[in-house]
Every structure is written in C-alpha cells, then in structure tokens.
Amino acid sequence: MPEPAVSPSYDFIRTIVKEDIEAGKYGGRVHTRFPPEPNGYLHIGHAKSICLNFGIASEFSGRCNLRFDDTNPIKEEVEYVESIKKDVQWLGFAWDDTEYYASDYFEHLYQYAAELINKGTAYVCDLTSQEIREYRGTLTEPGRESPYRNRPVDENLELFERMRKGEFPDGSRTLRAKIDMKSGNINMRDPVIYRILHAAHHRSGDTWCIYPMYDFAHCFSDSIEKITHSICTLEFEDHRPLYDWFLDQLGVYHPQQIEFARLNLSYTVLSKRKLIELVENGFVSGWDDPRMPTISGLRRRGYTPEAVRNFCDRIGVAKRDSMVDMALLEYCIREDLNKQAPRVMAVLHPIRVVIENYPADLTEELEAINNPEDPAMGTRQVPFSRVLYIEHDDFLEKPPKQFYRLAPGREVRLRYAYFITCTDVIKDGKTGEVVELRCTYDPATRGGDSPDGRKVKSTLHWVSAAHACEAEVRLYDHLFTKAAPNEAVEGQDFKSNINPNSLSILKSCRVEQSLTSAPVGSFYQFERQGYFCVDPDSSESKLVFNRTVTLRDTWAKIQKALKK
C-alpha cells in the first residue's frame, strides 16, 4: 500500500506513544483504558476520551479496556453502568470479552494498602474530616502533621484490619499515605487512601465497608491491568506525582499518566454535576433529552456515531484550555446526514393552497428523487392534488427584493410538480391573517420543468392536503443563550443562562404519505429545512419528529442582515 503523500500529523499523545513503541518501552505494547465512574451518563466530552483511548489502541495495534472506576458506592448505580456500555458500543467501539471494574480489585488493593503500612508509609488516622482539613494547611501555608502519623506499624495494621471488619463508624478513621505535609502540592500532604463507608456497593454488595480513594485505586488498577498509557484530563496533572509515588513505593508495574485538555463546547455545559442538576431540576426531560450534550441525548436528537467520531477527530487533542464551537458539531452531522438521509417533503407551518384550475377529483403520482447525493437510493411517488399545503414562511404579501419565494402574482415551482402562480390571497376577516392562497398551475410544467424554458426564482416543498399525515415536530435550539454558560452575572450561576426557547413543539405539521410508518430512529432530510429523526415517543397513531439540525439557511442570514 502506498504511503500517504503527506505524513499524518500526530497529536502530542500519539507522538509519545509512537516514540515509546520505537524505544521499545513496555516491549512495544500499547494498552489504554477508558475509566468512567458510573455516576452519570456519558457526554460528548467522554466521547473525546473514548475516541482517543480506543482510537490509539486500534491505530497502534494495542488494546483498550473499558473499566468502571467504581470506588464510591454512594454515588454509583447499575443504571449508569448499563448506559455507559450502551453508549460506548453505540459509538462503535468494542472491548475484550469482559469489562473491568476497580471494585474487582478491592481485595488486591487492600493488600497493597497493608503493604504500604508495613513499609511505614501509611497510617491509620483518627482525625475527623474537619480536623484533616485544618491540618492540611492552605495553598500558601504548609500543613501540620497528624498526631497519629507515627503510630507503630503493628497498631496501624490492627486498626486497618478492624476498619475492614466494620468495627468503626463512618468517618471515624481513615488510612492515610505518609508523604509530606509541607509539600507545595496539596495532594501530597498525607492524602486519605481509604475511608469507612457502611454502604452497599452496586457490585460487591456488603462485602466491604472501607473503600479506596481515586488516587490509590486508579494507579494500581492501571498497574494490575498492565496499562501502558494512562490518559486523563488536565485537572489530574497535580495528581501525577501521587500516581507515581504509590507505584514506586511498592515497586510494581508502572504505567505512564498523560494529561490532555477536556472538551468544552459552546452553548452547553459538560460537567456531570451540572448535567445532573439540569435533569434533577426538570430543566430537561432526562439524560436523553435531545438538547442534552450526552451521548444518549445526541442519539435521540438524531446524531450518528460517525458524525460524533468525526467531530472528535476534527477537534484534535492538546493541553490548552479551549472552547470548541458548536457549529463544528453541527457541521459534522450535516456532512454525514447529507450523504445518508432520504429526502422527503414536510410542511412545518402549513398554509392552504388551492390550485383553482386543477380538477377537484384528480390525484397524480409524481416522481421524486430520494437522495440527489446518492442515485442508488432511487425514487418514490408523491401524490399531487387540487388542495395542498405549503410553508407559511414561503409566502409574503409584500416581499422584499431578496425574497425569491411566492408572492401575489409571482410564479414559483412546486418541487417535482408544477409551476404555480399566486392569484389571490384569502385573509381572516377579523385578524387579517393570511389563511389561504389561491393559485393557478401550468399543466405544461408537469414534473417541474417548463418546455418554453422559462425560469422561476424558487422551488417550494409541499404536501397534498388529502394525502399528508399529521405529525408533531420538536424544534431544538441551544440549551443556553450564552456561548460560555458558566459566565454568569454576579450572584447567579449557569442556570441563569438557560435558553427559555430551546424547545418548541409544532403540533400540526403535515408530512408526506411515505412517512406514515417511519420507524423510530430513522432519519430524513425535510427538504429545504433540515434533518429530522423519528422520536421514541412516536407511535402508529402519532408521528413525532425531532429536528437534529437545520440546513444551512442563506435566507435566514439575509433576514438577519435585513433587520440590522
């Protein structure tokens, strides 16, 4: 196979991995892991990490473990484990026959802790959490040593064993690493490595009442699994000295921790805590609300795994804090759906059109192309008759110069059908609102082309009133009004930037007949409008569509410019 003309540019992590392979580090092996805590649903930021870890493994002929970092029984639930597995699979990644759990290593981890005690580098501390905080010092002042710091090894061992047996109440004691209370790095000031928690764990049940902390569990889990490159986000940079310290103390297999910048996306939030807040306070309907940046939300919204993976490729990997423009995500889904989505006609805001010179009892079947980007997708028949619906926005009684669509006296094309000319405008007697248009058609233009070669400025989508199905369509906008929702005014938080108009529900849309039995999850381009998919709320009696993303809309831009 020929080499690519341009050598691919590696991000800094892939560069490290490549150099490690060339240097024979870890015997040329590459083994990564994706280690979510099952305390919430995965979001697009996790997708970045998944693509990175699984991507590197596959590019360098290595492996990637899916490992649940489940060391805190109070926050973790089976529901989250299941959703995480589903989301990783949906994204298109596969792991070995089993998934891994930090909780599977609890016994092993306990032995490691005992070993640390034996070496004199861990001790049981009786300080309360409040006292530990006070002893820790501050960012600028060193901490003080715990009065329990120099307990004899035997006493530590005995106490630690009794902690395990459940002899002490929650919070009464901890196991701490004996490192350096004066360290500038607060993580090194004798961090807690085990706490007492009389709580049932989603997997180990009541077997344990002491649970290891992240710093202790994570490095050893990586070590046990013979991970080569332990990739995590920037906020763990300060923890790397601790990661290395634990491993070095016991002289066990030592993976390399590498940190990269987490994803920030404009007009949304990507923090589990904040997403939970949105769910619990009812700002959204759930984790899979189509406005949520969760994988399940994106899936319900109509995003494809290909588009999400492509997005993750395009944003790159680096160490600087950044905020990726939502427009890039939208570009990625348009790009994918443009190739794949069948085109269909749907009228979101219907206005009645009567073709006065068209026979009342006639219905014609006209041929429409399913996808101009892919001729293999073929054609379909759409019914045409005397009474139609077109988009309310496609008519203007007094059109500005840039408006190409229907207006009194103007001729336009109905896609795949006929040229029509607006002859009369019917208004509501009281409100003055336009309620119906009277038009004439030119029979010679059947199929949409005029034999005399005359041109028309625009082509409109339409449905036949007698044949169309009614549908509900849900339109979504950004969840937040500000690109950086976390920047709230004094005394407010991100919730003050929630967009009150992020959802609008259209109840009486009309979609073409061919959509009658569209299955849940199927996606379409509603011509001239955007990409839509069938929501799980949809049923045989009631079609429900979600708008995934609009088409690029030049007219909308012109309107915006006109307003200024």
Partner RNA sequence: UGGGGAGUCGUCCAGUGGCAGGACGGCAGACUCUGGAUCUGCUUACAGGGGUUCGAAUCCUCUCUCCCCAGCCA
With H, G, I as helix, E, B as strand and everything else as coil, classify residue 42: coil
The label of the residue with tokens 């596959």 reads 58
Closest CA to 103 of 66, 64, 72: 72
Question: Residues 26, 44, 57, 69: which binds RNA (CB under 7 A)?
Answer: 69
CB of 428 to RNA, least distance (A): 25
CB of 539 to RNA, least distance (A): 28
Closer Cβ to RNA, 289 or 358, answer by number: 358
310 binds RNA, rule: CB under 7 A: no
164 binds RNA, rule: CB under 7 A: no
Do 365 and 450 meet the contact criterion of CB atoms below 8 Å apart?
no
In the window 313-342, what residues touch RNA (CB under 7 A)? Answer: 314-325, 327-328, 331, 334-335, 338
Provide the residue type at 323 as one letter. Answer: M
Mark the segment that binds RNA (CB under 7 A) among 5-13, 55-63, 89-97, 151-159: 5-13
Question: Residues 237, 248, 365, 433: which binds RNA (CB under 7 A)?
Answer: 237
Closer Cβ to RNA, 240 or 289, answer by number: 240
9 binds RNA, rule: CB under 7 A: yes
Catalytic residues: 37, 262, 272
Question: Residues 19, 470, 552, 562: which binds RNA (CB under 7 A)?
Answer: 552
Closer Cβ to RNA, 273 or 430, answer by number: 273
Do 94 and 103 meet the contact criterion of CB atoms below 8 Å apart?
no
7 binds RNA, rule: CB under 7 A: no
Q: Which long-range contacts (CB under 8 A, 24 or more apart) does 148-153 make?
A: 148/123, 148/124, 149/123, 149/125, 149/178, 149/190, 150/123, 151/123, 151/124, 153/117, 153/118, 153/120
In the window 257-276, what residues touch RNA (CB under 7 A)? Answer: 261
Strand order in the sheet with 192-196: 122-125, 174-177, 192-196, 210-212
218 binds RNA, rule: CB under 7 A: yes
H-run or E-run covering 510: strand 503-511
Kindly state the tokens that stand for 5. 């003309």
Closer Cβ to RNA, 400 or 519, answer by number: 400
Provide the residue type at 416 as one letter. Answer: Y
Round to whole Å and give the CA distance between 476 and 495: 18
Closer Cβ to RNA, 207 or 536, answer by number: 207
Sign of CA dihedral 353, 357, 362, 368: negative
CB of 208 to RNA, least distance (A): 12
DSSP class of residue 170 equals: T
CB of 176 to RNA, least distance (A): 9
CB of 332 to RNA, least distance (A): 8
433 binds RNA, rule: CB under 7 A: no
CB of 296 to RNA, least distance (A): 19
Closer Cβ to RNA, 238 or 424, answer by number: 238
148 binds RNA, rule: CB under 7 A: no
**x/- letters, 457..476, toward RNA (CB under 7 A):** -xxx----------------
Question: Residues 2, 5, 24, 138: which binds RNA (CB under 7 A)?
Answer: 138
| Cα-based angle 391, 558, 531 (whole degrees, multiple of 5) | 50
CB atoms within 10 A of CB 536: 11
Round to whole Å and give the CA distance between 426 and 46: 54
In the window 484-503, what residues touch RNA (CB under 7 A)? Answer: none
419 binds RNA, rule: CB under 7 A: no
Round to whole Å and give the CA distance between 147 and 54: 46
CB of 158 to RNA, least distance (A): 19
**x/- letters, 12..51, toward RNA (CB under 7 A):** x----------------------x-x--------------
CB of 536 to RNA, least distance (A): 26
CB of 293 to RNA, least distance (A): 16
Question: Residues 448, 495, 506, 513: which binds RNA (CB under 7 A)?
Answer: 448
Do 438 and 356 meet the contact criterion of CB atoms below 8 Å apart?
yes
* Paired strand residues for 194: 175, 212
H-run or E-run covering 364: strand 364-369
What are the φ and ψ backbone dihedral angles of 259, each rounded to 5 degrees?
-110, 140
Phi-psi sector, 176: left (phi>0), alpha (psi -120 to 50), beta: beta
Pairing of strands 434-442, 350-355: parallel
In the window 101-120, what residues touch RNA (CB under 7 A)? Answer: none
206 binds RNA, rule: CB under 7 A: no
Mark the segment that binds RNA (CB under 7 A) among 109-117, 408-416, 427-435, 534-542: 408-416
- Distance set, CA 337 to CA 74, 358, 373, 532, 537 (Å): 41, 36, 10, 10, 22
